[in-house]
Chain A
Amino acid sequence: MASYSTNEFRGGLKVLLDGDPCVILENEFVKPGKGQAFNRVKLRNLMSNRVWERTFKSGESLESADVIDQDMEYLYTDGEFWHFMLTDGSFEQYPADAKAVGDTLKWLKEQDVYTVTLYNGSPLSVTPPNFVELEVVDTDPGMKGDTAQGGSKPATLSTGAVVNVPLFITIGEVLKVDTRSGEYVNRVKSS
């Protein structure tokens, strides 16, 4: 297994720390006067999603983690696993468990493409695209002509996600939603 010395640390590098795969977020090189150099490193543990801060003596090294991000189409769920398929033409499928799918569950729509992070060949996490387009399946009746007004109401989308939308939105409309903030962006088309 390859390893990386502190000199090679950079944001995005995937390494093993305490047996868990981590991604390096920040790497600060510090060295006082003529003394010992250190690397002050922020990492996100990809298993727990916690951010760790660790210090290494410059020149220490960490093993690389076999972690890769792949574009995959969401196919279906059998209740226990959510099945994804590589979009590279290989049709290779990967089952992700509830822990890997996590909060992305509320943005999962069949045939849409997600980033699946594989660790040692198994799905570790699923990240939605920044924007998804989903249909409104439930909301209070729309108020026509109220487009300029402020005010909002909750709307339930086809995936189960609930977002705040303007009062004029009606059932059956397709909305563009920002998955990072969970906020409504605009209407894609009218029903």
Chain B
Amino acid sequence: MSDAAQWQPRASLSALKSRADQLTWLRGFFARRGVLEVETPVLGRHGVTDANLDGVPAELTPVAGAPGEGWLQTSPEYHMKRLLAAGSGPIYQVARVFRDGERGGRHNPEFSLLEWYRPGFTDVDLMAEVSDLVVGWLGCARPQVLRYREALLQFAGLDPFVATDRELMRRCEQWLEPEQVMALGRDGCLDLLMSYLVEPALAGVGPVFITGYPQSQAALARVSVQDGVAQAHRFELYVEGIELCNGYWELTDAGEQRRRFEADNRLRRQSGKPVMAIDESFMAALEAGMPDCAGVALGLDRLLMLKLGTSDISDVLAFPLEIA
């Protein structure tokens, strides 16, 4: 079809009205709880080091004090954490974010993220607030909590903290050629089992938080030893098998954060991806002292998909990528 033939929106008018209702409802939720709405740049000077996230690069005319290149942000996390370090108190944002190459039934490279931070909260406190929000809007059952380890044991039949690399790889050979599995690494294998076995099974158990991720998948969460194993204070909420949010009891240790960024870049180098410059403004904010806090990012398009009972993200987007 030619571009001229595709001017009409994909989402129905009633879906667009629900989207507006959702925003109004969410703003009311945070206003009642005294959380401040903020806006931070969509176009930043830095991307992220995470080996599995690719931002969209932007070219700019250089101006005094800013280089001629930037990145459409994959999340407003670093900017919001700079606000927290500056003493903002609890904040939330409805942000447009960009993740290159992600397109499917649940993905569009540009999407809406609700991200919020709660000084003084732990991961457990924030999970309770996420539950209030999701149950309040969707009217679903209150989420249960399932440990990552239990989920893998129950639905993939192996213990992610005990299984050898060889056992993990063997398990993945059900879907991949041995040489593909070799290139995946331990976390890649666990991600495959999560996508192929755990997520589909979670569709049948009602809303559920997965928590206690392996240390290697901590991202920006703090880690502690629980049941004799180092586990990340990271959580994800699944509703009807759809991954809705990712949250952390945030890492505030600047030294540890830098080590993780450097480890990310080593992974990037190994997999042939460009190494990303570390955002030193963010690092400086951590060093200055970010308050103890928990934060979470929740996909608003997916939240609306659940509200409207559709399995295709295009149904809730006025103009998905192909016709954007």
> A residues bordering B, Cβ < 8 Å?
7, 28-38, 40, 54-60
Contacts and interface: CB of A to CB of B under 8 A. Distances in A.
Interface of B: 50, 52-53, 101-105, 107, 175-176, 180, 183-184, 187-188, 190-192, 194-196, 199, 217, 219, 236, 243, 246
Q: Which of A7, A37, A58 has the most CB of B within 10 A?
A: A37
Contact of A57 (B50, B184, B190): B184
Given A37-B101, A58-B101, A59-B101, A32 B107 contact: no
A34 B192 contact: no
B195 A34 contact: no
22 contacts: A28-B104, A29-B103, A29-B107, A30-B195, A30-B199, A31-B107, A32-B194, A33-B217, A33-B236, A33-B246, A34-B52, A34-B217, A34-B219, A34-B246, A35-B52, A35-B194, A36-B187, A36-B191, A40-B196, A54-B175, A55-B176, A57-B188
Contacts of B102: 29, 31, 37
Nearest to B273: A59
A28 B103 CA distance: 9
B243 A35 contact: no
Contact of A30 (B104, B187, B188): B104
Nearest to A39: B104
B244 to A, nearest CB: 10
Given A55-B175, A57-B183, A36 B105 contact: no
Nearest to A55: B175
A35 B52 CA distance: 6
B101 A34 contact: no
Given A37-B52, A58-B101, A32 B195 contact: yes
Nearest to B220: A34
A131 B230 CA distance: 65
A11 to B, nearest CB: 13
Q: Which of B101, B102, B196 has the most CB of A within 10 A?
A: B101
Given A29-B102, A55-B180, 16 more contacts: A7-B101, A29-B103, A30-B195, A31-B107, A32-B194, A32-B199, A33-B194, A33-B236, A33-B243, A34-B217, A35-B187, A35-B191, A36-B184, A36-B188, A55-B175, A60-B180
A96 B196 CA distance: 42
A57 B181 CA distance: 10
A37 B194 CA distance: 11
B176 A32 contact: no
Contacts of B52: 31, 34-37
Nearest to B104: A29
Contacts of A33: 194, 217, 236, 243, 246
Contacts of B104: 28-31
Q: Which of A38, A40, A54 has the most CB of B within 10 A?
A: A38
A46 B50 CA distance: 39
B195 A31 contact: yes
B105 A29 contact: yes
Contacts of B188: 35-36, 57
A32 B217 CA distance: 11
A34 B50 contact: yes
Contacts of A28: 104-105
A125 to B, nearest CB: 27
